[in-house]
Chain A
Amino acid sequence: MKLLILVLTALALVPEQETRFVAIDLYADTGGRPLVAWQIELECNAKIVGVEGGEKPPYYDPAALQGGRIILASFTTEPNPPAGRVLVARVHLQETGKTDYTAKLMAAASPGGARIEPRIEIVRAGGK
C-alpha cells in the first residue's frame, strides 16, 4: 500500500508534458514525371488534427484512421499536373515529446494510369 502511494505521489509530481501543435509536409519526388494520383500511409506517435493541401485537401480513409496512423490520397484532373518534388500534403499534428514519423507510398500514378514510384520525404513545416 505504501509503495502504491509512493508511486502515485511520484507520478503526481512528474510535470505533465506540454503538448504542441506542429505540421509536417509530405513531398513526393517524381523525378520529373507528372503526378495525377497518389496514396500514402503516414504513421507517427502524435495525434493527427488536420490535413491540408491546396484547393481540395487530401482525403483520408476514416476506417483506417487509428491514433497517429492515416492513409491519405488525392488526385488531380488538371491538364498540367505537377512534377518533380511535389508538396502533396501538410499534416497538422498534436505531439507530446519527440515524434517519429514514417511515410509509405501505397500507390502513385501519372496520366493514363501509368504507375510511378516517387520518393516520399517528410519535412517539418515552418510556423509563425
Chain B
Amino acid sequence: MRRLLLALVIVFAGCAPGTEMPTREVGVAAPEQEWRHKPTLQDREVIIIEAAPQLRPLDAPRGGSLVTQIENKIVPLPLKHTDVKAQLSLYLSSVTLTQQYHNPYGSKIEAIYTFPLPDDAGVRDFIMQIGDRRIRGIVREREEARRIYAEARRQGHVASLLTQDRPNIFTQAVANIEPGKQIDVQITYFHTLRYQDGIFEFVFPMVVGPRYTPPGFGGTVPVEYLPPGEISAADIALEVTVDGGTEILSPTHAIRVAGNKVTLSPNDRIPNRDFVLRYKLPMRAVLATHRSEGGGYFTLMIQPPATLVDVPRAPREMIFVVDCSGSMSGQPIDVAKRALVKCLHRLQPDDTFRVLRFSDHVSSMTEGAIAATAENVRRAIQYAEALAAGGGTQMQEVVRVALETPATPGRYRLVTFMTDGYIGNDREVVAFARERLGSARLFSFGVGSSVNRYLLEALARVGRGASTFITLDESTEKAADDLFRRLENPAMTDLKIDWGTLGVAEVHPQPLPDLFVGRPIVVTGRFKGDGPSKIRVTGRAGDRPVEMELNAEEAFHHTALPTIWARTKIASLYDSMFGRTESQEQLDEIRRVALQFGILSDYTAFVAVDSLSRTEGNFGTTVVQPAPVPAGVKYETTVEKKK
C-alpha cells in the first residue's frame, strides 16, 4: 500500500505539465450592463438579475488590444483568462487548464461557467488557488459534493465545484468571490489523440455550441451566449509541447512554433472555436504501459492492414443526411453542401443512394434509395445545391427515416450524418439509432468550428462506422475524400486479439471497433504478465480472413494510463446501455470506477472548500458566464431561435 501511494504521488507529480499563473490584466469597460442572461442551470439556486446597477466594474477600461481592435462592447464578466498547457506524447495527451475568475463588480458573486472538454477526457485533478494558497479538491459522489458546496457557499466560504453535464460539457461554480478578488481553478485531464493517415490531431475545444433540445426531452444545456455586439474580455493562452512530430500546423488558429513548443499567436486569443493542431509522426503498433502494485495498465495502437484497400468493394446503399437547422446557417451549410456534392460525384454505378435533409422536419429528394445513374446524381447535386438552413434540429426523426426505410437488398447500407451536432438530446439520439441500426453502419461528418464531437463520435462508435471533422476554414475536398475513403473501402471487422504473454484483462472499448483504411484504433486494458509480447490480431475484410502479428514493444510508459483506462471503461459501459434498458448494476459500476480512480463522471464531482476564509454576508449574486457564439454560427438563427 505504501509503495502504491508513493507511486501515486510520482504519477501525479510526473504527469502534470508545469503551470504558470499569468497575471496580465485585460481591459474591461461599460460601467453598467443590461444583464439579459436567464437562469438555466438545473437544480441549482441561481439568481440572475435583469439589471444590476449595484454591480459595477472596479477596473476602468485600459485600452488594451481587445478594446482597440474590436469595435464591440466588452462586458465585465467573472472569467478573466484561461491558460492551457498540453503535453503530447505519441498518442497520449495530458492537459492542464487554468481558469482565472475574478470579481469586477462592487459586491460578492458566485461565478458559474459551462465549458467544453474532449469527450474522452479523464479529469483527474482539481486545484483551487486563492492568492498563493492552493487547495486540492476532493472527488465525491456528485450529490454529496453539491451539498458540501451549497453549504460552504451559504456559510460564506470560498468554494468551488466541478461537475460533468455531458461527457464533453462541464460546469465550474466558484462561490463567494469578493469584489476585486481572483480565484483560479486548475484542472488536469488526459485523453488519447486522434491519428489518421500518419497525422496526429490534438483538439482543445473552447466553446459549447448552442444546443437545440426538442420538446419532450429533458437535459437542456445550461449555456448562455453573448449577443451580437458584445464580447467578453476573457481570452485564452495555449502552449502545446509536442514530443516528436513534423509539419506542425493548425487549420484553426494562428500559431507560433518554436522547437517542440506551439503557442497561440497573441492576435488569435478569442475562445470562440476549437483549437486544432496537426502534425506528422509515423507510427507502428505502439504499446504504452504503466505498472503499479495492483497490476499494469496499457494502451495499444493497432494499425489497419495495408491490404484493406485491395479488398473488392461491394455495392452500397449510401444515405446522406444533411443537417439544415438554423445553427448550420451560413458557412456550415455551404461546407456541408460542398462535401455532399463531392461524395455524390464519387458514387459508383452499382450503388444506390438517398439524400435526406432535416431541421424541424425531414424531407428527401426521393421516397427511397435510387440508383446512382448519371442522371440521378445530377438531380441530387441540384437538390444539394438548393439546400438552405433554418429551424430546429429534430435529429431523432431523421434517424428514424434513415434507418427504418427498408434497405435495398444485396447492398451495405451506410448512413452519413453531416451536422454540427448541436442538439441537447444527444444520448437519446444515439440510443435511438442503436435500436434501429440493424446491419447499417453510421458515419458522421462534423461540420463547424466547435462541433458536438461527443454526439458524432458516439454515433460512429455504436454505428460501427467512423467520424470525420471539418472546420470552416479547411479544404472541403480533402475532408470529403477522407470520409469517402472510409465509406468505399471495407473495414477489418470481427477483431479478436491474442495478447500472448501479457496476461491481459478488461480490454476497452468493448466491443472492439472495426479498423478502417488509414485509421488505427487505440485499445486499453489491464495486464499482469510481462512484455514485450507477440500480439496476434485476427478479423475479416470483406469475405477474407485477415491476420496480423504485432511486435508490440513497450515503447513508453505513461502515468495517465489508469485514468484513460477508467474513462474508456465508463464510455464502454454507457455504449453498452444505448438503446437498451439502463442496468443499475452498470450504473453502479460507473460510479465505482469513477470514485476508485478519482475521475469526474455523471456520478462524481470535485469539490474544494477554503474553510479558513469566511466572507461576510450571504453568497451574493450568481453570475453565469456567457460564451461567445461559435465562429461561423449565426446568433439570430441559432441562439434566438432556441430561446
Contact = CB atoms under 8 A, between A and B. Distances in A.
Contacts of B157: 21
Contacts of A65: 138-139, 595, 598
B306 interface: no
B322 interface: no
B557 to A, nearest CB: 19
Nearest to A58: B136
Interface in A30-65: 37, 39, 47-52, 54-65
Given A56-B13, A75-B13, A107 B139 contact: no
Given A49-B607, A49-B608, A50-B135, A61 B614 contact: no
A63 B292 CA distance: 13
A93 interface: yes
Contacts of A52: 133-136
A94 B151 contact: yes
B190 to A, nearest CB: 15
A59 B12 contact: yes
B365 interface: no
Contacts of A54: 134
B13 A51 contact: no
B609 interface: yes
A11 B608 CA distance: 31
Interface in B10-25: 10, 12-13
B2 interface: yes
B374 interface: no
Nearest to A62: B598
B612 interface: yes
B584 interface: no
B79 to A, nearest CB: 22
A74 B152 contact: no
A93 B6 CA distance: 24
Contacts of A125: 611-612
B155 A73 contact: no
B49 to A, nearest CB: 28
A59 B139 CA distance: 12
Given A21-B157, A92-B611, A128-B613, A51 B138 contact: yes
A55 B6 CA distance: 18
B151 A75 contact: no
A20 B1 contact: no
B138 A57 contact: no
Contacts of A56: 13, 134
A106 B1 contact: yes
B134 A47 contact: no
A64 B609 CA distance: 20
Interface residues of A, number: 38
Nearest to B144: A47
B264 to A, nearest CB: 26
B386 interface: no
Most buried by A among B9, B155, B595, B614: B9
A22 B6 contact: no
B609 A49 contact: yes
Contacts of B152: 21, 49, 94
B611 A21 contact: yes
Contact of A94 (B135, B609, B613): B609
B151 A19 contact: yes
A92 B9 contact: no
Contacts of A51: 135-136, 138
A49 B159 CA distance: 9
B136 A59 contact: yes
A74 B10 CA distance: 9
A107 B612 contact: no
Contacts of A23: 611-612
A58 B137 CA distance: 11
A112 interface: no
B577 interface: no
A73 B5 contact: yes
A50 B595 contact: no
A63 B609 CA distance: 21
A88 interface: no
B484 interface: no
A61 B8 contact: yes
A64 to B, nearest CB: 8
B151 A50 contact: no
A21 B609 CA distance: 8
5 contacts: A50-B137, A51-B136, A59-B12, A63-B596, A94-B609
The 3 closest A-B pairs by CB, nearest first: A62-B598, A21-B611, A57-B136
Interface of B: 1-2, 4-6, 8-10, 12-13, 127-128, 133-139, 144, 148, 151-152, 155, 157, 159, 595-598, 607-614
Given A49-B152, A94-B611, 4 more contacts: A23-B612, A57-B127, A92-B610, A94-B609
